[in-house]
């Protein structure tokens, strides 16, 4: 028995370390790391090292656990001041847009693959959700307009909930001899989403107040408490027959914006857990796949994927966000940046665990589709953003540095690069006119760091470290955006630095 455990630990440690190294290699190669993790799973599976693994129910359960960890991390790192202006648009895209996508994909699958309507709609439901891990990891490497990034991240954090409910409902409908009435299912889904949001809000508010009021004896307990609260939100939602995934995301957003003690440590811990969840999830899904079956799924995957990316996603985006003054260029980027990843594959394990006749083929098609279209979209998302003109090259980004003084001051450490062509180049430090409470503490130039004085003139290629208190952070970012667009006379030229 001990020998089996030791072997499993050895294999698990080796896979984890290879996966960690693969993050750096995949970043250099410009490939998404999830493909490396899937390849690792396939390599140790039946066609590689020969490990036989066909437990779809275990994969589904562990996959759901991994997803709520990833969604919790996304919620904790979401800034409410950025999300609030786009929340209505993101929520509409994450709910109404999901239903539109299901309908369009379902109709196409019914016509192209000649499948029954209920099975075709199941395909649409499985593929309707964007992947939080893929979206968070990809978009945070790009410098986009805050409005777009916030909309995509909020959408990916919310839309797992309706997608899961739809997949479970359709799978049950196919498996049941006496399925329920469709409008009853619709009301049930509406209740579960609303109840999940309320439970997440309640857990987040109570948890944030509790962490601020009752000091814990060790700093390391705060990350554990924060993650424990998101688990509590998920479990409470599930027990109450509500959406646990939506409860997790809402609770994470409330906690992440609740000025809890040791926030940087909480974010660092959540980030590490999310990486571990991604690695374990993708490797497990790769292990479950059967490479010998995948070639027969290539043509259906290309057909369904093309419909999803080129038709269903643009239609769902236009139908959802046109009411919120989102321009066609932004809609085009939202359409292309609707990344699929682990979520559709995990959702495909739901009918597989129920042993539906169509489940095996569905899983294979979704697996191939995710691999092919993840490569296509992530490798081109940067050029597409530049082509559509939705980049923001001088957006400041938060650095997750754990420093006790910053926590005590309730301050954040921001990093800002000065790219070629930015109007920041040539501006003196004192001409930035940052609000009181924000200061440039360090400039990195040609690999050498120095403390600037008011007459230090910025150059293209400089990197700035800025300390800003929580009260003035938003104002500091608006000012930096304004100067990056219009230079030192930004205010005279009518530039207020608002997100576009």
Q: Is 431 left (phi over 0), alpha (psi -120 to 50) or beta?
A: alpha
461 φ/ψ angles, rounded to the nearest 5 degrees:
100, -10
In this structure, the number of other CB atoms found within 10 A of the CB of residue 28 comes to: 8
CA dist 96 and 90 (Å) reads 10
Q: What does the pLDDT read at residue 394?
A: 61
* pLDDT tens-digit map of 464-497: 999 888 788 888 888 888 888 777 776 655 555 5
Q: How far is Cα 274 from Cα 46, in angstroms, rounded to an integer?
A: 27
**pLDDT, tens only, 289-324:** 888 888 999 999 999 999 999 999 999 999 999 999
397-486 under CATH 3.30.70.1450, yes or no? yes
Q: Can you tell me whether residue 139 is helix, strand or coil?
A: helix
Is the Cβ–Cβ distance between 105 and 308 less than 8 Å? yes
Local confidence band at 96 (pLDDT 50, 70, 90 cut-offs): very high
Lookup: tokens for 257: 């914006």
pTM attached to this predicted model = 0.81
Which two tokens mark 244?
């646990």
Strand arrangement of the beta sheet that strand 438-445 belongs to: 397-398, 411-417, 463-469, 438-445, 448-450
Look at strands 438-445 and 463-469 and give their pairing.
antiparallel
pLDDT for 301 equals 94
Question: Could you give the CA distance from residue 359 to residue 356 in angstroms, rounded to a whole number?
Answer: 5
Predicted confidence band of residue 396 (pLDDT cuts 50, 70, 90): low
Expressed in percent and rounded to 5, the helix, strand and coil fractions of the chain are 70, 5, 25
Nearest to 419 by CA among 372, 481, 463: 463
Q: How far apart are CA 429 and CA 117, in angstroms?
A: 63
DSSP secondary structure string, 158-221? HTHHHHHHHHHHHHHHHH-SSPPPHHHHHHHHHHHHHHHHHHHHHHHHHHHHHHHHS--SSTTH
Domain ranges of the chain: 31-388, 397-486
Q: Rounded to whole angstroms, how far apart are CA atoms 57 and 65?
A: 13
pLDDT in tens, 411-461: 778 888 888 878 888 889 988 888 888 899 899 988 888 999 988 999 988
Give me the phi and psi of 223, to 5 degrees please.
-60, -40
- The CA distance from 126 to 18, in Å, is 30
Tell me, rounded to whole angstroms, the distance of Cα 273 from its chain centroid.
14
Q: Give the single-character DSSP code of 428.
A: B
Write the class of the CATH domain 31-388: mainly alpha
């Amino acid at each position: 028995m001990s020998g089996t455990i030791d072997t499993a630990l050895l294999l698990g440690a080796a896979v984890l370390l290879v996966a960690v190294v693969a993050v750096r290699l995949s970043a250099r190669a410009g490939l998404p790391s999830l493909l490396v993790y899937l390849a690792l799973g396939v390599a140790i599976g039946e066609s590689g090292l020969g490990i036989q693994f066909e437990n779809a129910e275990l994969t589904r359960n562990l996959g759901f656990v991994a997803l709520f960890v990833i969604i919790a991390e996304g919620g904790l790192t979401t800034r409410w001041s950025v999300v609030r202006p786009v929340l209505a648009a993101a929520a509409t895209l994450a709910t109404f847009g999901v239903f539109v996508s299901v309908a369009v994909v379902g109709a196409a699958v019914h016509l192209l693959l000649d499948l029954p309507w209920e099975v075709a709609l199941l395909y649409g439901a499985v593929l309707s959700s964007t992947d939080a891990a893929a979206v968070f990891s990809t978009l945070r490497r790009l410098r986009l307009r805050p409005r777009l990034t916030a909309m995509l991240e909020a959408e990916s954090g919310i839309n797992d909930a309706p997608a899961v409910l739809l997949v479970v409902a359709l799978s049950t409908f196919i498996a049941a001899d006496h399925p329920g009435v469709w409008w009853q299912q619709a009301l049930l889904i509406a209740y579960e989403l609303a109840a999940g949001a309320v439970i997440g809000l309640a857990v987040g508010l109570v948890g944030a107040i509790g962490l601020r009021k009752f000091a814990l004896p060790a700093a390391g307990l705060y990350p554990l408490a924060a993650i424990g609260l998101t688990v509590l939100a998920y479990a409470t939602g599930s027990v109450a027959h509500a959406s646990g995934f939506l409860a997790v995301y809402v609770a994470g957003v409330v906690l992440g914006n609740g000025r809890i003690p040791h926030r940087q440590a909480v974010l660092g811990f959540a980030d590490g857990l999310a990486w571990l969840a991604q690695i374990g999830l993708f490797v497990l899904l790769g292990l479950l796949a059967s490479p010998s079956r995948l070639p027969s799924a290539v043509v259906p995957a290309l057909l369904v994927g093309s419909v999803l990316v080129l038709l269903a996603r643009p239609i769902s985006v236009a139908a959802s966000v046109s009411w919120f003054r989102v321009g066609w260029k932004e809609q085009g980027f939202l359409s292309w940046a609707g990344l699929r990843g682990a979520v559709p594959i995990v959702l495909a394990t739901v009918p597989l665990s129920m042993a539906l006749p169509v489940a095996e083929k569905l899983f294979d098609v979704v697996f191939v589709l995710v691999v092919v279209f993840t490569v296509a979209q992530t490798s081109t998302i940067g050029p597409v953003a530049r082509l559509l003109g939705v980049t923001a090259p001088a957006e400041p980004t938060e650095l997750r540095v754990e420093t006790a003084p910053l926590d005590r001051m309730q301050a954040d450490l921001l990093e800002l690069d000065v790219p070629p062509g930015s109007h920041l180049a040539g501006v003196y430090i004192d001409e930035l006119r940052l609000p009181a409470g924000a200061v440039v503490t360090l400039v990195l130039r040609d690999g050498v760091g120095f403390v600037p004085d008011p007459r230090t003139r910025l150059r293209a290629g400089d990197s700035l470290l800025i300390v800003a208190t929580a009260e003035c952070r938003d104002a500091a970012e608006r000012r930096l955006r304004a100067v990056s667009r219009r230079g030192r006379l930004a205010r005279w030229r009518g530039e207020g630095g608002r997100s576009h």
